[in-house]
């Protein structure tokens, strides 16, 4: 019995020794390249990327700056490959390494690149390429540059950071989209669009980028002119702006990062608009001359020059200050990112509220508060984003992304769709807040004094803002999918698909009983509209890359499909029989 146990132990030990020897043999048959990446003495760079392009392998450094790349035995032929190390804010470094079986150590110390002259871009190129090697200009801004002064949307983040980019804000409403023009985009066709093509994580976007959260952006690339038309078609004739969101790849290997950001601020008008302090009515004894009769009106001068100052005895008011105030805004943001092995993951949530600077506090004293309900103005937005990259093997990887947004905007509406425009027509002695209407409601609608004849342009803007309810509710869904397969060291295939859906519901409600510009009650109006803009794009491409001595050749062929469907529906009604209906 003892002999039998001893024999079994010897067999087990022998088998273990054989397994260890086999494992050691496999390890020695592989090429293992490792080392440490630093940015200076005792300054490890966690999250740096180490790439061997020829064999399609890459690795990220851990928090201590170390990395390890394992090349399988069947891919080792004694060839010389290029080992490239990159880290944001530092100059990349390359080194020629001969692949041999067994371990070898390759340490790197990167130099700081304050001007970011070695950025890698992918927009308009066959493969990721350094900006110094391009034959055309590509502007690129990094996450660090964007976060130095966070903007309200990705387009405004480009302002002052990329040469040749002009930002145009069509209005001051919170959440309003921003137009952009790139230098070099010109057309002789009337009505032709000068808007560059907008791409977010490979999804061609037809609408605005105001729905996106700047905190989620990793970098933005801008191609001016038609250099990217070979990849995106004629839609890119006016240029391309491509946005890349964070995917967790910026983290050090094995590290989970949690970002929490809360922002609060106040906004106000920097300078008042200078308005005219004179009128063109006839004056007698320092007072406006009126006609005689049941309905007297001011008598105009023979000339139309507004050269008569308002009476000095009249109280002067800053009408702009009556409707504008300091408006608060705040943002809550939380994100979780992780990089582990072949998986990158990034998830984020944002809540943004912008009250605006319109002041309608006087509506709280309304005799009929139902008329003034929902008079709060401003903009709210909530975003959720999830991105994930998964390396299935050293030759195959997959990336997916999902984004959901919902926003609500309470808009102002005046006779010219702008209360700020209307208030500049008000004489300085008009009290916009203190005089009620005959029905007891606040903000007298036909507020004409000092010879001002009530017209549609002189409707009290405070009355309009609190009685006419104009809102826009918007939802947006985006999804992206990309896969890349590298069957050979010199050949790769890539497929991608992107989906974008934006739906908007607009509502303009003028209740029964609200007053027209001349003070007469109206029977109410309602206008509803719904729009859905849905688009998708897909691309299949093949890339070849080979080096002939000192010459490196790159070739890319691609097939692209794009489709967009836009549906719009509207309905209107008037003559409501009851107050507060609908």
- 318 and 384 in a single domain? The answer is yes
The residue out of 185, 219, 245 marking a domain boundary is 245
- 269 and 145 in a single domain? The answer is no
- The pair phi, psi for residue 268, each rounded to 5°, is -155, 165
- 472 and 533 in a single domain? The answer is yes
Q: Which residue has the higher pLDDT, 224 or 107?
A: 107
pTM of the model: 0.77
Residue 347 pLDDT > 90: yes
The answer to whether residues 343 and 389 touch, using CB atoms and an 8 Å cutoff, is yes
pLDDT at 403: 96
The answer to whether residues 279 and 301 touch, using CB atoms and an 8 Å cutoff, is no
* Separation CA 69–CA 103 (nearest Å): 10
* Separation CA 435–CA 433 (nearest Å): 6
- 90 and 172 in a single domain? The answer is no
In a domain, 8, yes or no: no
- 231 and 296 in a single domain? The answer is no
**Cis peptide before 582, with omega less than 30 degrees from 0?**
yes
What average pLDDT does the segment 185-196 reach? 59
Q: Which residue has the higher pLDDT, 511 or 407?
A: 407
- 277 and 407 in a single domain? The answer is yes
- 236 and 260 in a single domain? The answer is no
In a domain, 79, yes or no: yes
- 92 and 172 in a single domain? The answer is no
- 453 and 538 in a single domain? The answer is yes
What average pLDDT does the segment 277-297 reach? 75
What average pLDDT does the segment 477-484 reach? 94
- 328 and 409 in a single domain? The answer is yes
In a domain, 22, yes or no: no
86: containing domain: 27-109
What average pLDDT does the segment 109-136 reach? 60
pLDDT at 382: 95
**How many structural domains compose the chain?**
3
Please list, in sequence order, all residues whose beta carbon lies within 8 angstroms of the beta carbon of residue 16, skipping any fewer than 6 positions away: none
Residue 173 pLDDT > 60: yes
- 233 and 340 in a single domain? The answer is no
In a domain, 533, yes or no: yes
In a domain, 260, yes or no: yes
What average pLDDT does the segment 442-449 reach? 72
Residue 515 pLDDT > 50: yes
Residue 6 pLDDT > 50: no
- 262 and 393 in a single domain? The answer is yes
The residue out of 180, 213, 245 marking a domain boundary is 245
pLDDT at 14: 46
Please list, in sequence order, all residues whose beta carbon lies within 8 angstroms of the beta carbon of residue 198, skipping any fewer than 6 positions away: 204, 205, 206, 209, 241, 243
CATH code, domain carrying 97: 2.60.40.10
The residue out of 58, 89, 109 marking a domain boundary is 109
3-state secondary structure of 467: helix
In a domain, 435, yes or no: yes
Residue 365 pLDDT > 70: no
């Amino acid at each position: 019995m003892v002999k039998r146990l001893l024999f079994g132990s010897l067999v087990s030990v022998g088998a273990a020794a054989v397994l260890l020897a086999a494992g050691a043999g496999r390890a020695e048959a592989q090429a293992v390249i490792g080392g440490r990446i630093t940015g200076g003495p005792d300054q490890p760079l966690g999250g740096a990327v180490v790439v061997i392009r020829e064999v399609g392998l890459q690795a990220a450094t851990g928090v201590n700056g170390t990395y390890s790349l394992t090349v399988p035995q069947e891919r080792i032929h004694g060839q010389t490959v290029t080992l490239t190390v990159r880290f944001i804010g530092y100059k990349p470094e390359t080194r020629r390494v001969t692949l041999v079986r067994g371990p070898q150590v390759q340490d790197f110390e990167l130099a700081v690149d304050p001007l970011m002259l070695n950025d890698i871009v992918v927009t308009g190129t066959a493969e990721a390429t350094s900006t110094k090697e391009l034959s055309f200009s590509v502007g690129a801004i990094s996450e660090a540059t964007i976060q130095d002064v966070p903007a309200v949307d990705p387009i405004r983040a480009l302002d002052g950071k990329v040469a040749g980019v002009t930002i145009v804000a069509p209005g001051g409403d919170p959440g309003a989209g921003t137009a952009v023009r790139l230098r070099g985009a010109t057309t002789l066709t009337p009505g032709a669009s000068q808007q560059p093509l907008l791409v977010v994580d490979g999804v061609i976007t037809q609408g605005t980028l105001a729905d996106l959260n700047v905190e989620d952006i990793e970098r933005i690339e801008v191609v001016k002119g038609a250099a990217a038309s070979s990849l995106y078609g004629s839609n890119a004739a006016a240029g391309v702006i491509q946005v890349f969101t964070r995917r967790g790849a910026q983290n050090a290997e094995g590290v989970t990062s949690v970002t929490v950001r809360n922002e609060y601020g106040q906004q106000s008008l920097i300078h008042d608009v200078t308005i005219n302090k004179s009128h063109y009515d006839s004056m007698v004894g320092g007072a406006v001359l009126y006609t005689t009769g049941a309905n007297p009106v001011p008598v105009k001068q023979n000339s139309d020059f507004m050269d008569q100052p308002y009476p000095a005895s009249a109280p002067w008011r800053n009408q702009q200050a009556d409707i504008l105030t300091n408006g608060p805004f705040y943002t809550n943001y939380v994100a979780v990112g992780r990089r582990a092995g072949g998986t990158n993951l990034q998830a984020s949530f944002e809540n943004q509220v912008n009250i605006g600077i319109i002041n309608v506090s006087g509506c709280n004293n309304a005799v009929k508060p139902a008329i003034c309900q929902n008079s709060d103005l401003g903009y709210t937005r909530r975003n959720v984003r999830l991105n994930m990259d998964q390396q299935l093997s050293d030759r195959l990887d997959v990336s997916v992304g999902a984004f959901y947004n919902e926003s609500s905007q309470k808009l102002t509406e005046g006779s010219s769709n702008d209360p700020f425009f209307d208030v500049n027509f008000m004489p300085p002695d008009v009290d916009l807040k203190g005089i009620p209407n005959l029905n007891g409601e606040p903000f007298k609608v036909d507020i004409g004094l000092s010879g001002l004849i009530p017209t549609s342009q002189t409707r009290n803007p405070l009355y309009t803002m609190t009685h006419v309810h104009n809102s826009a509710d918007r939802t947006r869904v985006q999804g992206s999918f990309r896969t890349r397969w590298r069957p050979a060291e010199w050949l790769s295939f890539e497929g991608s698909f992107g989906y974008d859906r934006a739906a908007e519901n607009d509502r303009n409600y003028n209740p029964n009983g609200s007053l027209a510009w001349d003070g007469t009650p109206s029977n109410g109006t309602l206008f509803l509209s719904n729009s859905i803009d849905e688009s998708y794009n897909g691309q299949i491409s093949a890339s070849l890359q080979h080096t002939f001595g000192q010459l490196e050749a790159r070739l890319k062929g691609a097939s692209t499909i794009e489709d967009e469907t836009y549906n719009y529906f509207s309905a209107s009604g008037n003559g409501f029989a009851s107050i507060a209906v609908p």
